[in-house]
Structure 1
Amino acid sequence: MEMNASYTSFVAVGDSFTEGMSDLLPDGSYRGWADLLAARFAARSPGFRYANLAVRGKLIGQIVEEQVPVAAAMTPDVVTLVGGLNDTLRPKCDMGRVRGLLEEAVERLAPSCRQLVLMRSPGRDGPVMERVRPRMEELFSFVDELAERHGALVVDLYAAPVLGDQRMWDVDRLHLTAEGHRRVAEAVWQTLGLAARDDWRAELPSAVPARWLTRRSGDLRFARQHLAPWVMRRLTGRSTGDGRLPKRPELLPYEPPGPGTAGQDAGPDAGPARRALS
């Protein structure tokens, strides 16, 4: 890893985590850690190019088929690959197949870029996490093996307790808040050997415990608005990403958000970050 290295292009590959859900912008689009990272790269490298091929709901097989060949053909300086977690959430998950497909992706991407970045993704504390934790940890152990074999970097978000804090997660309990995405961008930035802006692992202030009724109301709202639709999609074989195209399918010079999203991008001179305190 080169300290204070200069990178001129970046391609992000993956699912909703990399697409940027639930870091919502005023125009209804999603920003997310990859966009934040690209903005910081662009601030120090004029003409910096960025593509984000990630699409919500994608399984590792779809990522390998639809995104990996495109990213490899772009031959960028940096590629980030995060995939397989959607597979681990399925009741019938063939971890051997997941590992094989992830290995195929890494073998294709590592030679095509200057630096491949893999991740041990964060997980929200709670009962769902406990059910899938063994599969996640199996996946992450394999990520470490692949990184060692292919010279990739690993961003260990899973080991950061703050990213398991419920306040870092949106009401759907599946996607990070804006503050969570900001911290992921900082973690990737530092892993690439670039100068730290702050401590992305810093704990949040102590929270005031919510009332029992407030917690139950939140559980019911989550079940109605997010859990039930998710279960229905699993039963019908549908995905939120069906028919959806990547938000940045071409490797083009990075441009900041338009007037409708002014002030939302976190460049190097941005003000204090919003904190997830509620």
Structure 2
Amino acid sequence: MQKIAIYGKGGIGKSTLTSHLAAAFARLGKRVIQIGCDPKADSTSNLLGGQPLTSVMGYLREHDEPPQDLAAISRTGFGGVLCIETGGPTPGLGCAGRGIIATFDLLEDLSLFETFAPDVVLYDVLGDVVCGGFAAPIREGYAEDVLIVTSGEKMALYAAGNIADAVENFRDRGYARVRGILFNRRNVPDEEEKVRAFAATRSLPILADFPRSDAINRAEEEGRTVIEAAPQLPISEKFLALARSLLTSEPQEA
């Protein structure tokens, strides 16, 4: 089982990239779980036809007891991907990070991995602040590899640096490693030079370089990924190539 956490600044496109990567793994015949670790609970919408999914925290707010089976807090999306959202507390009340920890504990109680037996598990994690529950995938050993999504924007690179530092802080415990960078272009000035300089400073490979894509936008309006909507397009092949690369022991730089 390959366990990958995808981190990035809020709004950088990590949920879009995560759902597309999940769809790509599924297209390659892998059993996939995607767990959205963001209070917005919209990580998996492109795999579910744009339909909302009851989050774990949402379920716990509405019921007196935790769910007794996975069916109450999950749904199967495109390609058989099992979709789960942690969700968050009522706005202004509680801590979203604690919601992630509570979700992980519940999924262990429900024997998620033993029941579904996935080949790949993807965690989509907000990376503006890598603390508390948001650090759980790397701090508690849930993830083995971390992919950092960034553009050439200043705050995206700043968040990417914090994420890389957080992973490094747990390195001596045998937890996750940063496997590389996903370059999600925003077409800002000198963007490629800035991202490549950041990657070189951190000695990290750029595993994929994604241009701004109207095809992705059109597919998302339909609640789909381009892997489902237009698998023949070059942008779809980029995700499939990334998925193939990640399945090897040492992925190749794009």
TM-score by length of 2: 0.43
Which structure has the bigger radius of gyration? 1
The structure carrying a bigger strand percent of its residues is 2
